[in-house]
Chain A
Amino acid sequence: MNNFWANLKENLSLTDKFIILCPLSLSLWGVFCIYSASGGSSGHGFDYAIRQSMWLLVSVISMLLTMTAGHNKFLEGAYYLFGLSLLLLFLTLLAPKVKGAQSWLGFGGVRFQPSEFAKVAIILTMSKFFSRYPPLDFKTFIMGLGVIMLPVGLVLLQPDAGSAIVFMAISFGMLLAAGTPLRYLFGLCGIGLSIIPFVYFFLLKEYQRNRILVFIDPMRDPLGAGYNVIQSRIAVGSGGFSGKGFMMGTQSKLKFLPEPHTDFIFSVFSEEFGFIGVMILIALFTLLLIRVLVAGIRSRERRCKILTAGVASWIWFQMFESIGMSIGIMPVTGLPLPFLSYGGSSLLSTFIALGLVASVCVEGRSTRHEF
């Protein structure tokens, strides 16, 4: 036990503090936003804020445990974790539907989304796989893609297109970091672009097609799908330079915004805290992303470099999509904004992933000390 505390203390002193403090401050700020977005003390505010705080506590503890245990242990068990995630994703398909999709699993009274934990498993597996077999030749590249398509396929069956896109974004970032020849990456983009018309006309549901169309022109359906985009933009824009103040947002209070405490949390945030608040928020995100990638650059291990790229592309993609969606420069997908949106699974899994990065930092510095 003493050994554990000593370990934890040493790790904390060696690791990059920003990787712990940035997400922590973002999440604490998020708890306040959730309180406001879900109606304060007169609505479900207390309920949601308290539940989110409990999840945050669990997440921080998990992060510290992950860091102390070290990324090497996780990488050793990566393939097992990957298999377990696939199993859980498969089990979700048998669970009852919530809001038209099967993305939840109940476990002893706690419900969680296996797709969130699958993101961690994908990052670990791809780091291990691509460091052992660098995707430099066409065959390994295709093998890597094949492994990625397993979880992507399972979440598409739920159907949860948002998670599938995040899985692919993570994988793309890791392929880039693993040194995949640029012609393969361009080829991948080319294939992606060329199947868009096929996906659009044959795979997307009516409501998903509408989201794309209103992204191009929100006024084409101001009552239906375009309504969210217009109202969200009004929320963000009306925050102005300094915002309306905490709990003073009208867009979410008057129920103009759908799902204000999850998908549209950024709209609530920017309405209440304004351009200044948004700049601080983006600065915290950017600082975190820079520190994650710097940890990769400093590390001497190939697999750690790839791992940090996976974590960075995950957080970056969801941040860009969530903020972009709320001002109408990205289509609506319903992805959570990391650390701020209400949701325990998402919070816990991002913190675990950052725990891995923190552990990479520790190793990077401690080895340096030895020389």
Chain B
Amino acid sequence: MEALDIRLKFFLSAIILSVIVLISGLYLCQIYQGDKYIRLAHNNRLRMIRFPAPRGEIFDRNGVPLAVNDTTFCIMGYPLDLNTPEKLSHLSKILMRHGIPFTVSDLEKTIKQQRLAPYRVMKIVPNLTMTQMAELIADYEFPHELFPLSVWRRTYPAGTTAANIIGYVGEISESELKLRSEEGYNGGDLIGKSGIERSYEAELRGSPGQEALEVDARGRKVRTLDANPSVKGEDLRLTLDMGAQKLAVELLKNWKGAIVAMNVETGEILALASSPVYDNNPLSWGVSGREWNAIMNDPSRPMLNRAIAGVYPPASTFKAFMSIASLEENAITQSTMIACRGGLRFGSHLFKCWKHSGHGALNVIGGLQHSCDVFFYQTGLRTGIDDLIKWGKKFRLGEPTGIDLPGESGGNIAGPEWKMRRFKSQWSGGDTVNYSIGQGYMLMTPLQIARVYAAIANGGKMVTPHLHAKGYKLPENIGLNPAKLEIVRRGLEAVVSRGTGSRAGRFGVHVAGKTGTAQNSHGDDHALFAGYAPAEAPKYVAVAVVEGGKHGSSVAGPIVGEMLAHLLSH
């Protein structure tokens, strides 16, 4: 017992000793060096500046620049130094004197928007040119506590030609900031808002540099305590071919619609046009609310990327899929002949063929070649909606293709289950008839159509469309019977060589494909064409959708023909 008490007393002495150590430390800190720390706290002058990293640049497959960085200047300052209205009006006066329109309320708004800790530097006036900045600095009244910071401004040399692909950047919004607070974003940082800029944000972003400064009571830099340089983001080389992209945009100039051109084996996108176009340059530099509303409320919807988010009835381009499904399900064979007398009476309704005089007796190759509706009405009824949906799912209809762009639509595969959910009514035989020629509830994006045709061209592999090698996924074989697929391919060749799509074959390359004319209740019918070339050993697939283009054969067919010819000759 005595021994333990000695230990406890020893412990007690050790505690008292340690308390003496603490008191000495606190005495040193609070009394001996107290004045120094009071001064430091009073002007807490340890300040941090963040240097945005230059964003990775974006190029097309041949190195043509699509997104680059220009140097511009910002005026930076600290909330602590700008907390009086006089200071703001003084600054506004100087800015106005040099022709930079920034009122006091503009300044207040920018400051309020960034809501940072008072010691964090923030952007007060953005986007000044070198000349403007030089003039301001030379002005003897320019406040000392503000300073210029060179920043990178994003410009898009291709502008309208590739805006729907590249997208644009903008200041991070409050909700994005909350969502991504773990990733080291700060208020005022740029972030990809759409397109490649958004889907490859992590690669393009780079890491910002930081500098810790000690500044004096008036905010002037005394010395640098520490600095980490910024690291530029990763440059991206896309699969896009600007030559083909320019041609596609040119071909759609007077129309609304979309063009997709893709490598059939890999899913590399070579062109992805959507019309009408918009310019991404002003969006990246910051547009006013009014300009923004004008773009968003434009009835022709230029911001809608029709190639991946525009949904259309596939119309007769769907007949290639119908042929595969019915041959695979043995609902028909190559020698099955069906007679067309200009229409099919089903129940009380007469479903007409587009050729009112009728096509006579046709097999599947003839059905495709002449795009006979009655042939496919019959085929659809023989196959049955359940098997059509089963094959639709194999071809991934109704789900996004997984392209490396944000905002893709999955279209609608429709079917009995969907109709019950949506309209609370039974799927009828008439619905199947309509479904068989790609009209009615079924909706697809131009990109989805391109992927189905790529699978026909490559022997039954579903590719993942992508614009950068990182988006590549191994194509998935859906197991088509080669002999049956060959029949469909011969039909698609016949469409161009001697059928409805002959105008797609006038550009010197051997095209196989299918026309389509989608009924449009709001105006002229939409024209579609989906095709690949060369027909015997396909390399590229192209799809054109022209809104209000009336006939697939006359408008969309030549567009696809010219696209394919361009791709094969370059």
Contacts and interface: CB of A to CB of B under 8 A. Distances in A.
Interface stretch (A33-41, A144-152, A190-198, A270-278): A270-278
Interface in A208-258: 219, 221-223, 230-231, 233-241, 250-251, 254-256
Contacts of B4: 177-179, 302, 305-306
Contact of B12 (A178, A290, A327): A290
A320 interface: yes
Contact of A279 (B11, B23, B38): B23
A354 interface: no
A320 B20 CA distance: 11
B295 interface: no
B40 to A, nearest CB: 5
B117 A238 contact: no
Nearest to B5: A297
Contacts of A309: 7-8, 11
Contact of B5 (A241, A279, A305): A305
A298 B228 CA distance: 60
Contacts of A179: 3-4, 7
A336 interface: no
Nearest to B80: A254
B225 A240 contact: no
B11 A323 contact: no
B22 A270 contact: no
A274 B29 CA distance: 11
B9 A282 contact: no
Contact of B26 (A219, A250, A285, A327): A327
Contacts of A219: 225
Nearest to A239: B30
Interface string B146-180: 00000000000000000000000000000000000
Contact of A256 (B15, B25, B119): B119
Contacts of A176: 7, 10-11
A278 B26 contact: yes
A254 B44 contact: yes
B33 A286 contact: no
Nearest to B117: A255
Contacts of A235: 41
A154 B226 CA distance: 39
Of B33, B118, B212, most A-chain CB atoms within 10 Å: B212
B210 interface: yes
A31 interface: no
Contacts of A20: none
For B16, B35, B41, B210, which residue has the most chain A Cβ atoms within 10 angstroms?
Answer: B41
A240 B15 contact: no
Interface in A325-350: 327, 329
Given A223-B212, A223-B226, A282-B22, A254 B118 contact: yes
B119 A240 contact: no
A312 interface: yes
A41 B33 CA distance: 32
B98 to A, nearest CB: 33
A236 B30 contact: yes
B354 interface: no
Given A222-B226, A223-B212, A302-B1, A329 B34 contact: no
Nearest to A275: B30
Nearest to A308: B8
B43 to A, nearest CB: 11
Given A223-B48, A235-B41, A275-B27, A240 B7 contact: no
Given A223-B226, A293-B8, A236 B44 contact: no
Contacts of A313: 11
Interface in B415-435: none
B187 to A, nearest CB: 14
A237 B15 contact: no
A186 B148 CA distance: 61
B25 A327 contact: yes
B292 interface: no
A293 B31 contact: no
Contact of B15 (A177, A233, A316): A316
B15 A312 contact: yes
Contacts of B26: 236, 270, 275, 278, 282, 323, 327
A173 interface: yes
Contacts of A327: 25-26, 29
A68 B118 CA distance: 52
Which of B12, B30, B31, B40 neighbours the largest number of chain A CB atoms within 10 Å of its CB? B30
Contacts of A254: 44, 117-119
A18 B4 CA distance: 23
Contacts of A293: 8-9, 11-12, 15
A289 B15 contact: yes
A274 B8 contact: no
A241 B30 contact: yes
A238 B12 CA distance: 32
A219 B46 CA distance: 12
Contacts of B27: 275
A324 B8 contact: no
B549 to A, nearest CB: 55
B345 interface: no
A241 B34 contact: yes
A278 B4 CA distance: 33
A114 interface: no
Given A240-B37, A324-B25, 13 more contacts: A178-B4, A178-B7, A222-B46, A223-B212, A234-B40, A236-B30, A237-B29, A237-B38, A239-B34, A240-B31, A240-B34, A254-B117, A324-B22
23 contacts: A176-B11, A219-B225, A222-B46, A223-B226, A230-B46, A236-B30, A237-B29, A238-B34, A240-B31, A240-B38, A241-B31, A241-B34, A250-B44, A251-B41, A256-B119, A275-B27, A279-B23, A282-B19, A290-B12, A297-B5, A309-B11, A313-B11, A323-B26
Interface of B: 1, 3-5, 7-12, 15-16, 18-19, 21-23, 25-27, 29-31, 33-38, 40-42, 44, 46, 48, 117-119, 210, 212, 225-226, 228
10 cross-chain pairs, A with B, having the tightest CB-CB distances, nearest first? A237-B37, A238-B41, A240-B34, A275-B30, A238-B37, A238-B38, A237-B29, A293-B12, A255-B117, A223-B212
